[in-house]
């Protein structure tokens, strides 16, 4: 470990390398910020209550905790109160490459 630190401290860094690396990092940040997932901060209705009280509605949302993965969630609402939150079950685990995204305990 000490040798790695010594090698890094003895490494010469030119102004050109700093500018090139800063440009690469900036381009990566800009590219990643333009990509969005199909989730918004506001949950949208998929099932309407049709004016009746006591009916559960399903709204789709996403976990917006600091990890950044935005896990898909089904929010079950009854009388404008959240009754329970379930993971999105649109994917089939038996198909290779299409696994269900399950939220972590933070969500």
Q: Consecutive 10-residue runs of the chain (107 residues): their mean pLDDT?
A: 80 88 92 67 52 79 74 86 84 73 68
Inside any domain, residue 18? yes
Answer whether residue 12 is part of any domain. Answer: yes
* Residue 71, C-beta contacts closer than 8 angstroms, at least 6 positions apart: 62, 63, 87, 88, 101, 102, 103, 104, 107
Residue 69 to residue 100: CA distance in whole angstroms? 13
- Give the structural domain span for 17: 2-34
Residue 98 lies in a domain: no
Q: Are 13 and 21 in contact (CB under 8 A)?
A: no
Alpha carbon distance 41, 60 (integer Å): 10
Domains identified in the chain, total number: 1
* The predicted structure's pLDDT at residue 23: 96
Which run of H or E residues covers position 9? helix 2-10
Is the overall model pTM greater than 0.85, yes or no?
Answer: no
């Amino acid at each position: 470990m000490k040798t790695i630190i010594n090698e890094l401290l003895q490494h010469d860094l030119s102004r050109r390398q700093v500018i090139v690396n800063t440009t690469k990092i900036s381009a990566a940040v800009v590219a990643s910020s333009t990509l969005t997932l199909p989730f918004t901060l506001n949950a949208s209705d998929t099932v309407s209550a049709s004016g009746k009280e006591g009916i559960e509605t399903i709204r789709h949302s996403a976990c917006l905790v600091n990890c950044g993965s935005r896990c898909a969630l089904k929010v079950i609402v009854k009388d404008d109160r959240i009754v329970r939150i379930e993971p999105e079950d649109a994917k089939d685990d038996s198909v290779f490459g299409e696994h269900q995204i399950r939220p972590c305990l933070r969500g």
